[in-house]
Structure 1
Amino acid sequence: MSNFSLSPLFRRSIGFDCLSDLFDFALQSETPNYPHYNIEKTGDNSYRISVATAGFNKDQLEINLENQVLTISGKVTEEEKNDTDKEYLYKGISSRSFTLSLRLDEHVEVQQADYTNGLLTIDLQRNVPEEQRPRQIPIGRKNSEQLLEESQTQ
């Protein structure tokens, strides 16, 4: 793959460094097709990631969060890979190690993770601080409250 730079797109923007990093992350990593997973929106600010991990137990799964990248990995031991005692007539359940990385938004936090019936679920919550929520900026002269405050301080 040749080097691809998005810097011309960000010349006239302020504070979109994270968006640039997101594009870099997307271009560097291939889209995984194993294991299968869903991302659900369960509320206005809540999400759930469900990962199909049939054949794994809790001890073989690991969840890490570093620099807003959620990494889910499953490790199959060499003993399980080289188990010659079993003869499969058909093997449809894959038993291979995997790593799944998902980039989270700046204010998305991991709430909890559960493992039930071969399905790993991770609940996420978006917590945007009040000062960073969208607000309307008034246009024009100072409003009457500001004028009243200024007159009281003089």
Structure 2
Amino acid sequence: MRTLNLNPIFRANSGLDRVFDLIEAAAQRQGDDFPPFDSLRLSDNRFRLSIAVPGFRDDEVAVTQHKRELIVSGERKVDTEGEYLHQGIPARVFSRRFQLAEHTEVTGATLAHGLLSIELVRNVPDAEKPRTIPVSVSPDSAEPVRQVERNVA
């Protein structure tokens, strides 16, 4: 199975969150799905991308955010200790691009046990957050409604 199915996540959400839409769209646009990744929702405004980068060191991986695009790239340096008899761990150059939702920024990245974890936080300004407007009764509407005509059957 080579497709990313986020339908179970969508059913649990109100449908207003575009973060997973953008991550899924980015994954489907690319023909190459290396390296594989997971996307997790930690809370309403915190997310984590976990990208499998086995064999890569921290100086061989780069994480860049430019406006609303996250770019993760890597290139392994040549190991000159010996000659490979079999090389099963991928060592190819990669670059993955993710479109981020508005007001989403990268707060950190850590590499541990072959997983690159990228922390994302969405900071929506107060001016753009939904707000509840109280509804009050107008003093003019307190008068009873007069009936002009009445049909009696």
Q: Is the 8 A contact 2:34 2:94 kept in 1?
A: yes
Q: Is the 8 A contact 2:75 2:91 kept in 1?
A: no
Secondary structure of the 2:101 match is coil
Q: Among residues 111, 120, 123, which one is paired with 1:124 in the alignment?
A: 120
Q: How does 1:5-24 map to 2 (within 5 A)?
A: none
For 1:44, the equivalent position in structure 2 comes to 44
Tell me whether 1:109 sits opposite 2:108 in the alignment: no
Q: How does 1:1-150 map to 2 (within 5 A)?
A: 29-77=29-77, 79-80=78-79, 85-89=82-86, 91-137=87-133
Deviating above 4 A after TM superposition, structure 1's stretches of 4 or more consecutive aligned residues are 137-143
For 2:146, the equivalent position in structure 1 comes to none
- Which of the two has higher C-alpha Rg? 2
CA distance in 2, matches of 1:42, 1:34: 24
CA distance in 1, matches of 2:38, 2:131: 33
Unaligned runs of 5+ in 2: 1-21, 140-153
Aligned residue pair count: 115
CA distance in 2, matches of 1:30, 1:59: 25
CA distance in 1, matches of 2:88, 2:121: 35
Name the structure where helix makes up a greater proportion of residues: 1
State the 1:110 CA deviation: 0.9
State the 1:32 CA deviation: 3.4
Change (3 A) 1:55 1:70: same
- Given the two structures, how large is their TM-score scaled by the length of structure 1? 0.64
Amino acid across the alignment from 1:87: Y
- Given the two structures, how large is their TM-score scaled by the length of structure 2? 0.64
For 2:145, the equivalent position in structure 1 comes to none
